Structure 1
């Protein structure tokens, strides 16, 4: 008798081992639910972790950049997220804001050459806040040039704007309405904050533009609304302590080259003309 035969003859025959299959409906249901839970967990947990990684990749801005911030955004903020590319709302609002002197034309004139391909918009993160783009990010050299141009614009226009910490982002400096200019319209609604760049990451920006210019920017492939714009989300979530995001509050995509920096600054100038009610932007 071989060694293998000597070992296996002491093992119980598999035919003698009782195998119990679930017979009742409750037992079969338990097996199905258990299997579904295992498979579902193996699929859902990696997806949730990837979503969390994207949220953390935005860096500081708005909600806390940690696990608690991610949970709050996904459970409380996300249900309020609205559509961000339709321009019909601006056609209806051209004459809704008084005192800006822009009529239905706005302040911005973009040429066809300045437009970005509509079918090739940058991918924007799936979270309603912070709002950041994930693709078409500028090189370091372009980021530095954009930061310099933005700061120079603020200093040139000190008669209209001042620098202060952003109320919306909390981790970036923003342009605010100068103290000696009375706030009205959109500027009053945003507590004087007019524009900021997300200089800790993608270098996109948020500006407030006239309804006519909002339409031009979106149709030229240069931006989109904030996911909260035109909703009552902020007022409801803050229990009335903060105003809602106006529908004229736009995400402006980051420029990728010198020519696009010029267009970006042109959009900024149009924003400051609209929010200050002044034409003497330098």
Structure 2
């Protein structure tokens, strides 16, 4: 009974304040409502400006789901863009595939917005590099037909994507087939990461679905942990806000944006928290089916910023090649 009475005290206090100064309280409430409406409208306009193509409808309902469900779960920008020099985790002998040969991106990071879709909103491609990157994907698929398929993205249908045939082959049977025994195979960690992506889609280049002639050139892809650390640390990209969500150990005790405070974090972002975050990843050589299937985005699901000139196109191609090597097990790419 006492608890019930205490729960009503704030209501009684609010009523007393209103009775004392009704005009002041009404004005403050109206100001608060107007501010919330203005903030919501700006956020809605931003969501619409990002274009469709993601899993959510490009309308008011999609914005509500995006704002009320996805955004509160997204990693803070601090974690998405920080290089923490994490201990390499069990892939490629701790070497990665870029092997430290990627230079730093010049200038500051572009602004990004959204969760689904997740988009770069300035420093956009104005040189036609989007087509150069798509041509690179087509060339990779042509060079490695046993390992790669190029098609429309199953995550963002307006985008052009690469799919790992190798991953599909080794995870759909008890053992690699006779025709693929001599082929390269992805690591257990790679198979774990790609297990949650439709058709083992590991890379796609963005194209605005409702803005004909407008270039984008940014892309999403999956990298090894070592390469993700290098790419993010050197300014070429950032983690997706839902990287590692929801199935990887540490997500629910991780740090979404609305809880992130630098002074309250022990030094690890969500995708590195928990010793068992990729449980099942040590299944052993040739034991593909022992790698458990995950749901959601892999912990190294990364947005690569749109290249601004020919030199940056070549750098982004090297990042794509590293993603291909991680997804397929190929060491010689292209």
TM-score range, shorter chain: 0.7 to 0.9
Of 100, 105, 111, which aligns to 1:116? 105
Of 190, 194, 215, which aligns to 1:187? 194
Aligned CA-pair RMSD: 2.7
Describe the SS at the equivalent of 1:115: coil
Task: Report the Cα distance in structure 1 between the residues aligned to 2:88 and 2:192, rounded to whole angstroms.
Answer: 13
Task: Write the deviation string for residues 73-103 of structure 1: whole angstroms up to 9, x where unpaired.
Answer: 1001111111312344x724521x5xxxx21
- Contact 1:80–1:233 (CA under 8 A) maintained in structure 2: no
Q: Which deviates further from its counterpart, 140-149 or 43-52? A: 140-149
Task: Report the Cα distance in structure 1 between the residues aligned to 2:303 and 2:18, rounded to whole angstroms.
Answer: 54
Task: Report the Cα distance in structure 2 between the residues aligned to 1:137 and 1:233, rounded to whole angstroms.
Answer: 33
2:287 is aligned to none
1:8 is aligned to none
Task: Report the Cα distance in structure 2 between the residues aligned to 1:42 and 1:229, rounded to whole angstroms.
Answer: 34
1:160 is aligned to 147
Task: Report the Cα distance in structure 1 between the residues aligned to 2:74 and 2:123, rounded to whole angstroms.
Answer: 23
Question: So what's the TM-score if we normalise by structure 2?
Answer: 0.66
Matched, 1:258 2:310: yes
1:280 is aligned to 332
User: What are the ranges of 5 or more consecutive residues in structure 1 without an aligned counterpart?
Assistant: 1-23
- Contact 1:214–1:248 (CA under 8 A) maintained in structure 2: yes
Task: Report the Cα distance in structure 2 between the residues aligned to 1:219 and 1:167, rounded to whole angstroms.
Answer: 29
- Contact 1:218–1:224 (CA under 8 A) maintained in structure 2: yes
Deviation (angstroms), 1:66: 1.2
- Contact 1:226–1:250 (CA under 8 A) maintained in structure 2: yes
CA distance 1:26–1:48, shift in 2 (3 Å): closer
Aligned residues: 246
Deviation (angstroms), 1:243: 0.9
1:20 is aligned to none
**Structure with bigger RCO (C-alpha 8 Å, 6+ apart):** 2
Question: So what's the TM-score if we normalise by structure 1?
Answer: 0.77
User: What are the ranges of 5 or more consecutive residues in structure 2 without an aligned counterpart?
Assistant: 1-15, 172-190, 209-214, 253-292
CA distance 1:29–1:128, shift in 2 (3 Å): farther
Describe the SS at the equivalent of 1:207: strand
Deviation (angstroms), 1:109: 4.0
Deviation (angstroms), 1:43: 2.8
- Structure ID, larger Rg: 1
